[in-house]
Amino acid sequence: MKKAKLIIVGFGSRGQLFGGYALDHENTELVAIADVNPEARAKAIKEFGIKPENCFKSADEIFSHGKIADAAFICTQDKQHKEHAITAMRLGYDICLEKPIAATMEDCEEILRVQEETGKKAMICHVLRYSPFYMKIREVIKSGEIGDVVTISQTENVAYWHDAHSYVRGAWRNKEESSPMILAKCCHDLDIIFWLLGKKCKKVSSFGDLYYFKKENAPEGAADRCFRCPESVKQNCPYDAFKIYNDIYKAYNPILGNAMAFRGTRKEYINELLSDEKYPYGRCVFACDNDVVDHQVVNMLFEENVTAQLTMTAFSKECHRCIKVHGTLGEMVADMEENSVLVKPFRSEDYVIDITKYATDLSVHGGGDKLLFEDFVSYITGGAPTETRTTLADSLISHRMSFAAEESRLAGGEPIDIRLIDMI
């Protein structure tokens, strides 16, 4: 079988993850990458074996060479997705596009129009569909064991330290620079709810706000940067950057990024970064330019008056998802962190599904990323459709739900009717 040639546009953590899968897959060849960061390009050469001449400085540069592969992974920032996805498809690439599709509904629809115009294959990285955890939950639902599903409740526990990194200090902190939290973080969750129910959403209402990470909540005596903060304040602050990046982030540390070598010890290097006046991740969480919510609830009404609810909160210790599914003949309670699903049929004894028995790799979204990569390769090489595969048209449904939820939140929770085009 001829290998599928791939390029990756945006070689950050997500791009590098897919790059690793490409190296390991017997039917793919990673031929080029593009990233503005010189350290990312150096890493592509040293650790991924990409030729220096195929490590481009920007999306514009890699696309200026025309079609040099079969498919492109678009792993750039949210507001760049429209330009990069459309350019890639018009050049003849099939694409795998990181979620969200784009930062506005209009841009999402424009990408779909170009996909239909060009006839290229496009898939969105809704990786949770591919996790054995959610696949097993869906399997139980489809079996009819718990009857008709009447309501689903999903919780996205972002974790206080992850929220501080990505949504207070980091790239997704400001909705004008990226996209609303409910889209950037939770379009995964809305897609999963839609996929599990298999029904169209009719209405949504939502409440949420930026409750905590603002200047009026700064402890007395706090400085604008953690390295200047008095020890008496730091020792009681769980959001202290030195604690988060030295003590909580262990195996993978996002601020080390592409650094392949650094001066001194790991801790010395981290502390040096955090002591830089201009370094964004050293800022006090109460002194940033963030405006995305730190908590939000979404209530959804689906066909046949089935209901669902999503809670997103920054205020959890662990970063994980949990879900409850209530049916007419039973219920399920499941926690992705525990890799188990408790099934509670009304007519028989409770039992537990051990997810570890169904997967050898549960890392990164419960093992979903690797399985999504494999399905995308199958998709572009003529493989049969799968139940988990989410096309661009499918993914627009959860994105419409996300944008409607944000519209409702901004309107004080006013219910929003969703006029879905018939894509299912």
Examine residue 405 and state whether it is found in any structural domain, yes or no.
Answer: yes
Q: Which amino acid is at 354?
A: D
Q: What is the 3-state secondary structure (H, E, C) of 283-330?
A: ECCCCCCCCCCCEEEEEEEEHHHCEEEEEEECCCCCCEEEEEEEECCE
* DSSP-assigned letters across all residues of 241-263: HHHIIIII--S--TTTTT-S--S
User: Residue 391: what pLDDT?
Assistant: 84
| Mean of pLDDT over the chain | 93
Q: Which domain holds residue 149?
A: 128-213+290-360+391-417
Distance CA 38, CA 23 (A): 21
Same domain, 44 and 83: yes
Q: Are 343 and 257 in a shared domain?
A: no
Q: Is the pLDDT of residue 252 over 90?
A: no
pLDDT category at 262 given cuts 50, 70, 90 is low
Q: Kindly state whether residues 200 and 320 are assigned to the same domain.
A: yes
74 falls within a domain: yes
Query: Residue 424: is its pLDDT beyond 50?
Result: no
Residue 372 located in a structural domain? no
Using one digit for the tens of pLDDT, what is the confidence trace for 133-165? 999 999 999 999 999 999 999 999 999 999 999
pLDDT band at 249 (very low <50, low <70, confident <90, very high): confident
Among 71, 94, 124, residue at a domain's last position = 124
**Is 374 part of a structural domain of the chain?**
no
Closest Cα to residue 395, out of 179, 21, 177, 127?
127
Domain end call among 282, 303, 336: 282
Which one, of 138, 147, 140, 59, lies nearest residue 352 by Cα? 140
CA distance 46 to 62: 19
Asked whether residue 107 falls in the same domain as residue 62, the answer is yes
